[in-house]
């Protein structure tokens, strides 16, 4: 490279503030390396407000935990005694069965309804919209009570020719018991929400995927089944996981129908022993435990469907905990080193 006129290599100052070459020594950028003692040491900024906020939050948390643990009104010995009794475990199993059955049936009904919402057929689109509108507008408790008293409207149910004679008839009261009524009511309610979840997942897929399938001569149904829905699952899983946890907690409402779920089983016990608070704590702890397991499982499912869509898969709950602990140790180590390098503590 030719230097500018009037400037030669020998005319450059002997000690320039910046080196002429792009290479510098590692010691020039090391704030802790100062052989002559002339450069000021760089100390990380102290976030006192952040530490005070964290300390205050930990103090409040410790006070709450202490008040719960040391409060004798909770009767923790009674909680431990009834936590694994047969009646409570039977109610827990029924709650888990209701949750699984309602979620599976809800999505089996919600997927066709979502496809109908996106259909070009105005009749199917309107019927699907009307279903979602009705069941999302009505409280779940009202729906359950309505289905529980459906025998007042239809004393008998029959199978036969539409608008014609019936070949088989059955009494509604004998057909729909409390458990079956709860399954029907919860399924129809969850299907309305599953419809919107699936529809949102399908709409999240880029329209170019469908256009490319049409360009290759792939039919609409096959494109939806083999291309769109597999990609939409990645967006459906988080909302479906949220629905699953909501359904688990929502099953407690079937206790008004005398279905022996977890909450109703606990109520039967404390109606005899009058130990309301500890028995409610038993149900609460079981709900927390099951919700924690479902949340952890949801993270693994999301990680599975993130393959191919992300360069780096999201961390698992255990890995996320290890990373947070490692970051905390690194911050504590950095704070210790910076304190040791302050004036008066220089090594």
Q: What is the pLDDT of residue 224?
A: 79
Q: What is the pLDDT of residue 159?
A: 74
pLDDT tens track for 95-110: 999 999 999 999 999 9
Q: Is the pLDDT of residue 9 over 50?
A: no
Q: Is the pLDDT of residue 34 over 70?
A: no
| pLDDT cut 70: percent of the chain above it | 81
Q: How confident is the model at residue 203 (pLDDT cuts 50, 70, 90)?
A: confident
Q: What is the pLDDT of residue 311?
A: 58
Torsion of CA 338, 340, 344, 347, to 10 degrees: -120
Q: Greater confidence, 300 or 245? A: 245
Q: Greater confidence, 236 or 170? A: 236
Q: Greater confidence, 241 or 15? A: 241
Q: Greater confidence, 63 or 27? A: 63
Q: How confident is the model at residue 14 (pLDDT cuts 50, 70, 90)?
A: very low
| Largest separation between any pair of C-alpha atoms in the chain | 112
For 7-19, what is the mean pLDDT? 46
Q: Greater confidence, 175 or 199? A: 199
Q: φ and ψ at 205, to 5 degrees?
A: -75, 135
For 179-189, what is the mean pLDDT? 92
pLDDT tens track for 302-320: 877 776 665 566 666 677 7
C-alpha of 289 from chain center: 15
Q: What is the pLDDT of residue 102?
A: 94
Long-range contact set of residues 293-300: C-beta below 8 Å, sequence gap at least 24: 294/241, 294/244, 294/245, 294/248, 295/241, 295/245, 298/237, 298/238, 298/241, 298/244
Please check whether residue 93 is in contact with residue 264, taking contact to mean a CB–CB distance below 8 angstroms.
Answer: no
Please check whether residue 98 is in contact with residue 183, taking contact to mean a CB–CB distance below 8 angstroms.
Answer: yes
What average pLDDT does the chain have? Answer: 81
* Planar angle of CA 74, 77, 80, nearest 5 degrees: 100
For 192-217, what is the mean pLDDT? 86
CA distance 263 to 105: 23
pTM over 0.85: no
pLDDT tens track for 232-277: 888 888 889 999 999 999 899 998 888 899 999 999 999 998 899 9
For 143-157, what is the mean pLDDT? 84
Hunting for tokens 């006192």 — which residue is that? 48
Q: How confident is the model at residue 82 (pLDDT cuts 50, 70, 90)?
A: very high
> Residue 35: how many CA atoms within 13 Å on its side-chain side?
4
CA distance 176 to 275: 33
Q: Is the pLDDT of residue 33 over 70?
A: no
Which residues, in sequence order, are CB contacts of 280 under 8 Å at separation 6+? 266, 270
Out of 1-10, 112-121, 123-132, 195-204, pick the least confident: 1-10
Q: What is the pLDDT of residue 134?
A: 94
Q: Is the pLDDT of residue 163 over 80?
A: no
């Amino acid at each position: 490279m030719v230097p500018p006129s009037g400037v030669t290599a020998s005319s450059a100052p002997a000690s320039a503030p910046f080196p002429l070459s792009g290479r510098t020594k590692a010691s020039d950028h090391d704030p802790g390396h100062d052989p002559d003692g002339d450069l000021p040491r760089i100390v990380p900024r102290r976030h006192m407000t952040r530490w005070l906020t964290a300390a205050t939050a930990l103090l409040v948390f410790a006070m709450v935990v202490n008040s719960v643990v040391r409060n004798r009104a909770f009767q923790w010995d009674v909680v431990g005694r009834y936590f694994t009794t047969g009646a409570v475990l039977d109610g827990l199993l029924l709650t888990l069965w209701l949750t699984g059955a309602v979620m599976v049936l809800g999505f089996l009904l919600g997927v066709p309804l979502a496809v109908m919402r996106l259909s070009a057929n105005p009749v199917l689109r309107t019927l699907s919209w009307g279903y979602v509108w009705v069941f999302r507008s009505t409280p779940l408790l009202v729906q359950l009570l309505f289905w529980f008293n459906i025998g007042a409207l239809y004393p008998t149910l029959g199978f036969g020719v539409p608008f014609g004679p019936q070949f088989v008839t059955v009494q509604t009261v004998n057909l729909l018991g409390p458990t079956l009524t709860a399954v029907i009511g919860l399924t129809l309610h969850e299907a309305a929400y599953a419809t919107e979840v699936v529809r949102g997942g399908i709409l999240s897929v880029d329209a170019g995927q469908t256009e490319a399938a049409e360009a290759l001569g792939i039919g609409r149904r096959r494109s939806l089944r083999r291309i769109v829905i597999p990609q939409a699952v990645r967006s459906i899983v988080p909302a479906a996981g949220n629905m699953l946890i909501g359904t688990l907690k929502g099953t407690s409402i079937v206790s008004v129908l005398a279905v022996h779920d977890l909450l109703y089983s606990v109520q039967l016990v404390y109606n005899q022993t009058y130990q309301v608070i500890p028995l409610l704590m038993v149900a609460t702890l079981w709900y927390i435990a099951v919700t924690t397991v479902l949340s952890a499982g949801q993270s693994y499912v999301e990680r599975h469907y993130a393959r191919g869509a992300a360069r780096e898969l999201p961390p698992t709950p255990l890995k996320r905990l290890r990373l947070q602990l490692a970051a905390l140790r690194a911050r504590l180590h950095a704070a210790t080193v910076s304190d040791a390098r302050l004036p008066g503590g220089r090594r």
